[in-house]
């Protein structure tokens, strides 16, 4: 294992994050505040409570998940797509590193960034509403696993993408809708029965539900299913990356 290379990639990627610290932190803080104003204050005042939790607090896990998933995906996909786009990937390909080391470096950095953003949103949310976290370790584990798995997904997208449009395509067309429809801002039990059934096919539902359980001890689906879902998703991403590694798909001629 070339640890020096993993460290070099990780620090280089993190350096970009620190350089744009202001936008990295300020934009999630502002968008979270906006969600609180719109959903919490305007709509929340009419909803009152969901499953015994104030609506303002209820949407916090969903909000964190929304940002973490999109940030992890876009960070990781951009991180590996950019060298491909400007050609600096030649250096990765000619260096004495294997694909695993490249993945750990890039995905590690993207996961760290999204974790930071998740924590910032949590802190911002704490300013607006009273939050209690019933299972802090489970909460942290869910958060970290989501950061890692969606960074893995982003990495795959970055390898796959042939242009900037494709880079945006999956986050925009798939991830955002799935997160919105996965119970970020409502409980599935509030939906008509047909939609409840359909929603259960949305994989993101299981992640948000598990995360919410860690906060409030309540969930749309059993916590075991949520754990299974995130393990399955991470496993799928890892398998795809292992395949890319073996075949050199889209990177090595």
Partner 1 sequence: MAPIVEVSNLTKTYKGGFQALGGVNLEIEEGEILALLGPNGAGKTTLISTICGIVTPTAGSVRVGGHDTITDYRAARSLIGLVPQELTLEPFETVMNTVRLSRGLFGKPKDDAHIEKVLRQLSLWDKKDNKIMMLSGGMKRRVLIAKALSHEPRVLFLDEPTAGVDVELRRDMWDVVEELRKTGVTIILTTHYIEEAEAIADRVGVIAKGEILLVQDKAELMAQMGQKQLQIDIATPVSTLPVSLVDRGLTVEESGTRLIYTYDTRAERTGITALLNDLQAENIQMTDLSTTQSSLEEIFVGLVKESA
Q: Which residues make up the interface to partner 1 (CB under 8 A)?
A: 2, 4-5, 7-9, 11-12, 15-16, 19, 82-83, 86-88, 90-97, 248, 252-253
Radius of gyration of the chain (CA): 19
The 8-class DSSP code of residue 130 comes to -
User: How far is it, in rounded angstroms, from Cα 132 to Cα 13?
Assistant: 34
Whole-number minimum distance, CB 166 to partner 1, in Å? Answer: 20
User: How far is it, in rounded angstroms, from Cα 125 to Cα 41?
Assistant: 13
Scored b (16 or more CB within 10 A) or e, 16-47 reads: ebeeeeeebeeebeeebbebbeebbeeebeeb
User: Between 90 and 201, whose beta carbon lies closer to partner 1?
Assistant: 90
User: Between 7 and 135, whose beta carbon lies closer to partner 1?
Assistant: 7
What is the three-class DSSP state of 137? helix
Whole-number minimum distance, CB 163 to partner 1, in Å? Answer: 18
For residues 190 and 113, the answer to whether their CB atoms sit within 8 Å is no
Whole-number minimum distance, CB 88 to partner 1, in Å? Answer: 5
For residues 155 and 106, the answer to whether their CB atoms sit within 8 Å is yes
For residues 104 and 245, the answer to whether their CB atoms sit within 8 Å is no
User: Between 103 and 153, whose beta carbon lies closer to partner 1?
Assistant: 103
Structure-block tokens of residue 170: 């999956």
User: Between 15 and 30, whose beta carbon lies closer to partner 1?
Assistant: 15
Whole-number minimum distance, CB 85 to partner 1, in Å? Answer: 10
User: Between 95 and 129, whose beta carbon lies closer to partner 1?
Assistant: 95
The 8-class DSSP code of residue 39 comes to I
User: Between 90 and 137, whose beta carbon lies closer to partner 1?
Assistant: 90
Whole-number minimum distance, CB 157 to partner 1, in Å? Answer: 20
Whole-number minimum distance, CB 16 to partner 1, in Å? Answer: 8
């Amino acid at each position: 294992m070339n640890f020096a290379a993993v460290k070099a990639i990780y620090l280089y990627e993190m350096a970009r994050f620190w350089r744009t610290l202001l936008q990295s932190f300020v934009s999630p803080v502002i968008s979270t505040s906006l969600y609180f104003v719109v959903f919490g204050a305007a709509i929340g005042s009419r909803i009152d409570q969901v499953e015994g939790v104030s609506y303002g607090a209820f949407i916090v896990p969903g909000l964190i998940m929304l940002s973490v998933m999109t940030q992890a995906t876009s960070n990781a996909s951009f991180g590996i797509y950019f060298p491909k786009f400007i050609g600096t990937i030649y250096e990765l390909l000619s260096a004495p590193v294997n694909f695993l080391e490249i993945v750990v470096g890039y995905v590690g950095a993207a996961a760290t960034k999204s974790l930071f953003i998740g924590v910032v949103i949590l802190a911002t949310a704490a300013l607006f509403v009273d939050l209690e976290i019933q299972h802090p370790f489970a909460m942290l584990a869910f958060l970290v696993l989501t950061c890692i798995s969606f960074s893995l997904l982003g990495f795959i997208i970055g390898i796959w993408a042939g242009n900037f449009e494709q880079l945006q395509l999956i986050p925009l067309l798939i991830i955002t809708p799935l997160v919105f429809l996965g119970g970020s801002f409502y409980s599935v039990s509030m939906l008509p029965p047909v939609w409840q059934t359909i929603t259960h096919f949305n994989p993101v539902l299981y992640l948000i539900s598990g995360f919410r359980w860690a906060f409030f001890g309540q969930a749309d689906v059993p916590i075991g299913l949520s754990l299974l879902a995130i393990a399955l998703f991470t496993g799928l991403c890892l398998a795809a990356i292992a395949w890319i590694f073996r075949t050199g798909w889209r990177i090595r001629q």
